[in-house]
Amino acid sequence: MRIEEITSGSSLTGLEPSAVATVIAFVPIADGAVRVIYQTPDGTLKERLLGRADEETIAVATTERPWSFDGDGEAFKLTVEAKRIDLAFLFDPMMAVHTKIGARGQKLLAETLIDVPEEQETMEETLVVQATASQTIAELEGEIFILQTLEQQAKGLGASGKDRKWDELSRILQNEPQMRDAGGRMRKIIIFSEHRDTLNYLHEKIAGVLGSHDAIVVIHGAVHRDDRRKAQELFRSDPAGLENRALALAASTLVPQHFSEVADRRIAHIDKTLVAVHERLTKEINFWSDRFEKLTDDKKAGKDVRLPLENVRRTLSDLEARLEHRKKELLSMRHVSSATPVLLSGALVLPAGLLRVLQGEPASCGSAFSADPAARSRIEQLAMHAVRQSEESRGCRVVDASAQKCGWDITSYPPAIEGKQPESRHIEVKGRIKGATTITVTRNEMLYALNQAAKFVLAIVQVDENEQIDGPYYLRNPFDAEAGWGVSSINFEISEFLKKAEINL
């Protein structure tokens, strides 16, 4: 069935692995996604997110219940009333009096009181006098009948769940087009109530429809003035608009993809486990089956059987039951469902170029070039080549260490001086598009620079759009402090570095 056909109160299969669930409420989140709140047969309330992929498994329940309402209603009422009267004295002394003067009237009263002790008779008479203004047994029976009728009507109204005014309000909240704006978001509504108990009643009812008490702001006379102001501000504000759009995006785009990945991994793992469990327990069952047959044959042949056959039969039965239970458990775990996404936090992402323009900085001519991953890779290659050429032109032996992720890109070994090998240099190469204003240095690179002191060298190479090289520019001891705790990288101004840089080291 299509998810648009789901209605409150409908009984569906597919929401739970092997049970019929009753829909309590549903909230559309996005096109093709709906949040369903439902109740399982044991009374547990659950919720899940349904999408187009679930339409194949969701259906209106057509299976019959294991019991029905085709018994004799009058016989049931008579039995329940008889049992209630029989046990009434345990809970209410007045009900004990009612038992004595019940349906059979004064004659039954006279017959019953014959065997009643004098003390109990006195107590019952006192209770009758205190509880009623009736002067005769007949008047008392009539009064009790009226009270029972009033009581049954009140209980019947409360138990029926029928409330015409609430039904109309519920219809307006869920089905009235005017309750939603152009974007499909629910509008706000103000409801006034004269009585506090009606307010509490509506609070619970509306929360059941909306799925959350947090979606309702309640103000009454007992609310503190400051709390009342906060509630009013909360009602006037619109924090849910952006949140609803984020939830819609998650429900329609992010959740289905993630759910599919998680479900595939879980089902594959469960299937593997199911095969292993079936193989292991079946092997044990076969072993004990063979053992049982052999012991049975030995016993028939008159041999001494030390292991009781009943113990073997019980072990075999337990293993078979264990296998069946485990299979059902694992198969139910294959039923993976997605809950409604919960928005935990948000982030506003703005392009760096837009911020520079808004701050009055000139747009970089090479910003588009450097934003391309392939172009950035080409710049890094040109920068590495430029540094290698510069080092080799001074007679150094160059080793590329960039793939080792050791904290620098090039190890340069200067030529020997009077037979002694000078200390090697560890060069971190930073290639940037001409016109860029910053370079990014990782925390790891800064730590290596500080630990190795003068042995570490930072080389900056600038490349224009025609692949013309400017540099390399070398800096020793480029950093005077390590990055703060939790900082993964820092952007530095290229112009500041170039003020301290050297062409040749």
pTM of the model as a whole:
0.32
Q: What is the mean pLDDT of residues 89-104?
A: 45
pLDDT at 286 over 90: yes
pLDDT at 329 over 50: yes
pLDDT of res. 392 = 87
Band of residue 105 on the pLDDT scale cut at 50, 70, 90: very low
The Cβ-side half-sphere exposure at 78, using a 13 Å CA radius, reads 5
Task: Identify the bridge partners of residue 13 per DSSP, sorted by sequence position.
Answer: 59
pLDDT of res. 96 = 44
- Measured CA to CA, the distance from residue 476 to residue 373 in angstroms comes to 29
Percentage of the chain exceeding pLDDT 70: 74
pLDDT of res. 88 = 61
More confident residue, 345 or 74: 74
pLDDT tens per residue, range 130-141: 445 556 666 656
Q: What is the mean pLDDT of residues 192-197?
A: 76
pLDDT of res. 471 = 81
Q: What is the mean pLDDT of residues 254-271?
A: 80
- Measured CA to CA, the distance from residue 493 to residue 436 in angstroms comes to 9
- Measured CA to CA, the distance from residue 252 to residue 184 in angstroms comes to 15
pLDDT at 278 over 80: yes
Q: Which CATH class is domain 3-60?
A: mainly beta
Band of residue 123 on the pLDDT scale cut at 50, 70, 90: very low
Collapsing DSSP states into helix, strand and coil, what is residue 359? coil
Question: What is the fold of 355-500?
Answer: Trna Endonuclease; Chain: A, domain 1 (3.40.1350)
pLDDT tens per residue, range 162-185: 777 888 888 888 888 777 777 677
pLDDT at 153 over 90: no
- Measured CA to CA, the distance from residue 158 to residue 166 in angstroms comes to 13
Return the amino acid letter for 55: E
Short-list 187, 206, 184, CA closest to 252: 184
pLDDT of res. 66 = 47
Q: What is the mean pLDDT of residues 440-455?
A: 82
Collapsing DSSP states into helix, strand and coil, what is residue 70? coil
pLDDT tens per residue, range 209-222: 777 777 788 887 77
pLDDT of res. 504 = 61
- Strand order of the β-sheet with 33-39 is 45-51, 33-39, 19-30, 11-16, 59-60
pLDDT tens per residue, range 360-418: 766 554 444 455 677 788 888 888 888 888 888 888 888 888 877 777 888 888 888 88
pLDDT tens per residue, range 12-42: 988 888 788 889 888 888 888 888 888 888 8
Residues ≥6 apart with Cβ < 8 Å to 125: none
More confident residue, 75 or 420: 420
Q: What is the mean pLDDT of residues 473-484?
A: 83
- Measured CA to CA, the distance from residue 238 to residue 266 in angstroms comes to 39
Its sign, for the CA torsion 459, 464, 466, 468, is negative
pLDDT of res. 121 = 44
Band of residue 98 on the pLDDT scale cut at 50, 70, 90: very low
More confident residue, 202 or 407: 202
Percentage of the chain exceeding pLDDT 90: 5
| The two three-digit tokens of residue 120, written as one number | 């109990």
Collapsing DSSP states into helix, strand and coil, what is residue 333? helix
pLDDT of res. 220 = 79
Band of residue 149 on the pLDDT scale cut at 50, 70, 90: confident
Return the amino acid letter for 300: K
Average pLDDT, the chain: 76
Q: What is the mean pLDDT of residues 316-324?
A: 91
